[in-house]
Structure 1
Amino acid sequence: MTDLRIEQVDGDAALLDWQFVHNAIIPTAPLSFAEVGERARRNRLCVAYRDDVLVGCSTVRPPTADASVATVIARVLPAHRGLGFGGELYTHGLTLARGLGAGVIETCVLESNPEGLRFALSRGFVETERYVLPGDTVPFIDLRLA
């Protein structure tokens, strides 16, 4: 176990930290501060710190009323990868999703993030779809936990 501290986003500083990690890892689809605030109202957003250093963030999209599918996304800044932080963020998100009633877990990885794809595949996810958002050139890869 590492000395990672995972906190639910609460307040502007945490929203800015979440936005920073998201935009660093998903540069093809950067989010404005307003868009991050809107996501925080729909989803469970967390930020992760080692001591006081920002290392990553996570998103849990709760299951909808008509389906038991939740999305769990863990993101770790490149300088902090390979230290177990992704596993901790993913486990935290998975526990949260299951607590919200998820029976099926999905995730999403940008194709230009091979470390993220390897991480998801190593945890039992299988690819279900690749798609390019309008105006983008790099595909997103949707995966489902087998």
Structure 2
Amino acid sequence: MTLRILRVQDDTTLLDWQRVHNEIVPPAALSVDEVRERVTRNVLEVLYDDEVLVGCSTVRPPSAETPAATVIVRVLPPYRGRGFGETLYQHCLHQAQGQGVETHILSSNVDGVRFALAHGFVEVETYAMPGDAVQWVLLRRT
């Protein structure tokens, strides 16, 4: 097993990031143009086991509205429970280097919520985007 974490910087990594994101978070599926825009303001990365795509991540820097860095790790279902999420999460924490970290998880993603709780996150709120019924969970760790 050779794990590789690559920053999104070309069409291959961009499409792989989009594929994982859209499979894990279908209610918030992104177009290629939306991913291209996100990569200009966030750190987007993909995780491979040898040549097999297993996950992706997003690290959003702190902002005036969100004083904590946002770390989001997504692992495709067949690869969960094998340490891939932990590896990617630790990598993202190193990048975040903030006083606090938060994450947003689709409430129906029980594996993701369980992972966050096991890593010291606490639920802050459950919310829906304006005009949308899909529930998200905001969790924070200090």
Which category describes the TM-score, using the shorter chain as reference length?
Answer: over 0.9
- Give 1:65 shift: 6.1
Partners of 1:17 and 1:66 lie apart in 2 by 29
The amino acid that maps onto 2:32 is F
Q: Secondary structure at the match of 1:42?
A: coil
Label 1:30 to 1:123 Cα distance change in 2 as closer, same or farther (>3 A). same
Query: What is the SS of the residue equivalent to 1:89?
Result: helix
1:42 counterpart residue number: 41
The separation in 1 between residues aligned to 2:62 and 2:114, in whole angstroms, is 25
CA distance change for structure 1 residues 113 and 39 in 2, over 3 Å: closer, same or farther? Answer: same
Deviation string, structure 1 residues 27-51 (Cα, Å, up to 9, x no partner): 1110000000111001000000001
Percent identity of equivalent pairs: 56
> Given the alignment of the two structures, is residue 116 of structure 1 paired with residue 115 of structure 2, yes or no?
no
Unaligned residue ranges in structure 2 (runs of 5+): none
Output the aligned Cα RMSD: 1.5
Structure 2 residue identity aligned to 1:77 = L
Matches within 5 A, 1:87-106: 87-98=86-97, 102-106=98-102
Quick one: distance in 2 between partners of 1:106 and 1:59?
Answer: 12
Shift of 1:144: 0.3
TM-score normalised per structure 2: 0.94
Structure 2 counterpart SS, 1:63: coil
Q: CA deviation at 1:66?
A: 7.9
Q: Does 1:145 align with 2:141?
A: yes
Contact 1:56 1:74 in 2 (8 A): yes
| Match in the other structure for 1:21 | 20
Matches within 5 A, 1:45-60: 45-60=44-59
Aligned length: 142
Partner of 1:9: 8
Structure 1 contact 21–76 (Cα < 8 Å) conserved: yes
Tell me the secondary structure at the aligned position of residue 96 of structure 2.
Answer: helix
1:67 & 1:26 partners in 2: Cα distance? 22
1:134 Cα offset (Å): 3.4
